[in-house]
Amino acid sequence: MIAARAAAYPPSQSTPADPTVVRVTIDEILAGPGFQKSETIFERIIEWIVEFLSDLLPEGSLSEATLSGLAQALVWIVLAAVVALVVWAIVRAQPWKRARADPEAAADPTVERAQRVAELRSRARAANARGEHVLALRLEFTALVVGLGERGDLEYRDAFTNRELLERGKPGRAAEALLRPIVPVLDRKSFGGEPATSDDFARLSSLCDQLLAGARA
């Protein structure tokens, strides 16, 4: 078609080309497939949202530019939410992330129990050094219950009696048989008016060394 038009209007040194014909020729060239901009999926979605909002809202309430901006904002919000969900799913699926978020589940129970016993015994020694012998005895007994019981995470609380500490520690039958006779002695030292001394702590600490060493063996 272009060639036909060119043949119909051959170039001439003296006669300028008809502007109308030139304009029509240029329009036909630009309308060809090589010059047409393909519409992206994003643009199609924007157009669909604009049409939807136009039908939903009262006519003339918002300009086309405002509707287009609103549509683009909605698309970006949805895309951001999708990306956030994907990232959350990937992070949640990582086993190392779960282990870091829940270190107690990933820790070795034996090591954790030994650390807990060491912490309690350290607190007991510090209390004994301060002259708080009742507290030192109770902390040392708690360490003994933790080391021999099933509750490696047993927490010491002042409100617990020695009997409650023993029951909460859930020792096995053999361990309970060893620990049960100690409870009345500690109760007398703690609540019966019988004074607690540093020698009492030394004896209980020695017993703790022996029983925990036997448990480890």
120-162 pLDDT per residue, tens: 899 999 999 999 998 888 889 888 888 877 666 677 777 677 7
pTM for the predicted model, two decimal places:
0.48
The H or E element containing residue 211 is: helix 198-216
Instruction: Quote the domain boundaries for residue 118.
Output: 108-216
Identify whether residues 89 and 160 lie together within a single domain. no
**Tokens at 23, concatenated:** 């304009």
Identify whether residues 203 and 182 lie together within a single domain. yes
Alpha helices in 17-161 (DSSP H): 19-30, 41-56, 64-93, 95-101, 103-106, 109-129, 133-148
Coil/strand/helix, residue 171: strand
> How many domains is the chain built from?
3
Identify whether residues 45 and 29 lie together within a single domain. no
Q: Cα separation of 43 and 41, whole Å?
A: 5
Residue 129 lies in a domain: yes
* Residues with pLDDT less than 70, the chain: 1-17, 19, 21-24, 26-39, 60-61, 94-109, 150-153, 159, 214-217
